[in-house]
Amino acid sequence: MLLALPVRYVIGDLVTKGSLVSLGNIFVAGISNGAIWALVALGYTLVYGIIELINFAHGDVFMIGSFASYGFFGTVGLTLATGALGLVGGLVLTLLVAMLTCGALNVMIERVAYRPLRNAPKLAPLITAVGFSFILEDVGQLWLGGSQHGVPDLIRGQAHLFTVFGISIDREDVLAVGVTIPLVILLTGFVARSRLGKAMRATAQDPEAARLMGINVDGTISLTFLIGGLLAGAGGLVYALYQTNIWYFQGFRAGLIAFTAAVMGGIGNLRGAVLGGFIIGIIQQLSDNRIGAEWTPVIVFSYLILIMTFRPQGLLGEEIREAG
């Protein structure tokens, strides 16, 4: 219902012009773009769900993932001339390096900046998160400079792979969805079934009770930051290959969009974060193609306001600890 009027207008306009294929291509692009936001949004929702902290530095951890991926391309010699087998192996290795780099960075941030403030007023860790965000932005600026930096189109992202009902599927679409979906399945399975996942859920529900039951709460929180960082690193690599340009300020925009996705889906809800990412990706593509890119931020955040007004808990509901 919330999306009815603008989306009905856009879809109706496309249908009357007989451009269902064009609509399908827009949705495919929106889903692949939204898959990147979903990876980043999962980090926000994991941390908020377990310690109720908006980790504003998370978007910049994602930016470091892109920068680390780009740097590692040169280290292992990945170029446009690299053969298919070497390229796949190099990208898998780059993915692991980016994930581990961002995971370790996120754990360090939690240990240095957030853990000492665990019992402080909530404003203190929030401001600290903003401070770390600026630190990481400065690191990125010193690393590659203040302008946008081109990334080699190693996968030839816009190359056509196959067609489904006339809808074109490109390499970049398969990359984004092919990385995101397995990671989301692994994450949800880990949280739902593993011993550590159960410890995460217990800590999110009631940290004091979890501590009394013998759960290492500090270690569990660090694990949550590690997982969030791993996902941000994966998102950073996919973003670099998908957009073929990176810059030090990309984390601010990505973080804002991803946090919006997490809130839209239901903060603390893993499935909600993924749903919110896909919805925002589709809205962005519809707006860019049918209304105008300059209106896209206005439309995205207008939807957020509408959803929060009529469903404050998000589309799939919040999953945070109960007060008291």
- Indicate whether 176 pLDDT > 80: yes
The predicted pLDDT at position 2 comes to 42
Please report the pLDDT score of residue 163 as a whole number. Answer: 85
What is the predicted pLDDT for the residue at 226? 96
Domains of the chain and any CATH numbers: 4-310 (1.10.3470)
Per-residue model confidence (pLDDT) at position 12: 52
Determine what percent of the chain falls in helix, strand and coil, rounding each to the nearest 5.
75, 5, 20
How many percent of the chain have pLDDT more than 70? 92
Burial bucket for residue 160 (CB in 10 Å: 0-12, 13-18, 19+): exposed
C-alpha to C-alpha distance for 206 and 202, rounded to whole angstroms: 6
Q: What is the pLDDT of residue 118?
A: 87
Q: How far is residue 303 CA from its own chain's centroid?
A: 19
pLDDT, tens digit, for every residue of 260-318? 999 999 988 899 999 999 999 999 999 998 888 899 999 998 988 998 888 888 888 76
Query: How do residues 197-251 score in pLDDT, each as one tens digit?
Result: 999 999 988 899 999 999 999 999 999 999 999 999 999 999 999 999 999 999 9
The answer on pLDDT for 14 being more than 50 is no
pLDDT of residue 157: 84
16 has a pLDDT exceeding 70: no
* Average confidence (pLDDT) over 39-52: 92
167, 207, 315 from 136: Cα distances, Å: 40, 30, 32
pLDDT confidence of residue 217: 94
Count of residues for the chain?
Answer: 324
Residue 165 pLDDT: 80
More confident residue, 64 or 324: 64
Q: What is the pLDDT of residues 132-173, one digit of tens each?
A: 999 999 999 999 998 899 999 999 888 888 888 888 899 999
Angle formed by the axes of helices 250-265 and 296-310, nearest 10°: 30
Q: Considering the chain, what is the average pLDDT of its residues? A: 88
Least confidently predicted of 35-44, 122-131, 291-300, 310-319: 310-319
Q: Which amino acid is at 217?
A: V
- Residue 173, Ramachandran bin (φ over 0: left; ψ between -120 and 50: alpha; else beta): alpha
Residue 271 half-sphere exposure toward CB, CA atoms < 13 A: 6
In whole angstroms, give the CA distance from residue 155 to residue 160. Answer: 11
> Residues 67-80: what's their mean pLDDT?
91
Helix or strand run (H / E) with residue 219: helix 217-243
Confidence of residue 5 (pLDDT cuts 50, 70, 90): very low
